[in-house]
Amino acid sequence: MSKEFEQKGEKKSEELLFSSSCPPEDIVFDAERGEYICASTGEVLESRLVSQGPEWRAFTPEEKEKRSRVGGPLSPTVHDRGLATVIDWRDRDASGKKLEPKKRLEFLRYRKWQIRSRIQSSYDRNLAQAMNELEKISNILRLNKAVKEEAAIIYRKAVERGLVRGRSIESVVAAAVYVACRLKHFPRTLDEIAYYTKANRKEIARCYRLLVRELQIKVPLANPIDYISRMASLLDLSGKVMKTAAEILQKAREKAITAGKDPAGLAAAAIYIATLLEGEKKTQKEIAAVAGVTEVTVRNRYKEIVSQLKLDIPGE
């Protein structure tokens, strides 16, 4: 008996990690990121492989100290491949003669600019990789252009403020995406974003709070109404149900029973009630599944809302 349950549980968690629907011929290896990816869905299948490429070089003292692995190995797409001429510190010309003071100052300027341009280029490379990551996430999560651009802007600000240093690009990008979703009322949960990213949920959540705090972004409270259209379409429900569910949520909000509750759970309960009222019944299980909560939560919210709003449920 208990053995049966164990096996069931294992199977379930495996399904969560790997899509069995990915045919072998679709699996491609992304050497730069060290991942096996399903070419048709973009799903990362195995990501703990170590890239054989060189570490990033340290350009500035800070970088030297950290020597963090910020990106992929150098590639031909990087403008100088790290091999550009360095203006050295000896103030002599090619024949070893000392430079005149005027010339010396000139070279001093050159050196300064060269260093600056290199820091600039590391910034660019960081951005390039981040945008690559953003592109990937956007495609999987079906983000619209506005959200994507918002995320890019947020990420740029984060880089400018030096918030990425010491954190992985992926987690900061994921956090930026989440912030953008919230700002644009685009219903994607943190869990969904975390699921499709290498960074784990905890790390993303931490970055998210950091971004909100450091960039002074005022994120509107998650509004359950934003979730309705998405859930309803996943359940093949009519616009009428959506409208009813939205009205229920609006009333529930006025009764102040929505504070501190999981917005997805609230939306799920509202939809459940709406289906009962409109005669398009779905089971709690189905609704809970698309909302990413359990039946129990749907039930609890459902009970609260019905009693608070004194709704008449057909067949009660």
Interface residues toward DNA, by CB under 7 A: 5, 9, 201-202, 205, 260-262, 265, 281, 283-285, 292-297, 299-303
Report the residue number, 96 or 260, with the smaller CB distance to DNA: 260
**Torsion, CA 275, CA 279, CA 281, CA 284, rounded to 10:** 40
Token duo for residue 223 = 């509004």
User: What is the closest distance, in whole angstroms, from the C-beta atom of residue 2 to DNA in the complex?
Assistant: 7
Rounded-to-integer distance, Cα 198 and Cα 171, Å: 8
User: What is the closest distance, in whole angstroms, from the C-beta atom of residue 303 to DNA in the complex?
Assistant: 5
User: What is the closest distance, in whole angstroms, from the C-beta atom of residue 315 to DNA in the complex?
Assistant: 7
Closest CA to 194 of 31, 28, 16: 16
Report the residue number, 40 or 300, with the smaller CB distance to DNA: 300
Report the residue number, 54 or 315, with the smaller CB distance to DNA: 315
User: What is the closest distance, in whole angstroms, from the C-beta atom of residue 170 to DNA in the complex?
Assistant: 17
What pairing do the DSSP bridges indicate for beta strands 44-46 and 27-30?
unpaired
Report the residue number, 71 or 265, with the smaller CB distance to DNA: 265
The DSSP H or E segment spanning 297 is: helix 295-309
If phi > 0 it is left, if psi is from -120 to 50 it is alpha, else beta; for residue 199 that is: beta
Report the residue number, 111 or 261, with the smaller CB distance to DNA: 261
Rounded-to-integer distance, Cα 228 and Cα 222, Å: 12
User: What is the closest distance, in whole angstroms, from the C-beta atom of residue 257 to DNA in the complex?
Assistant: 10
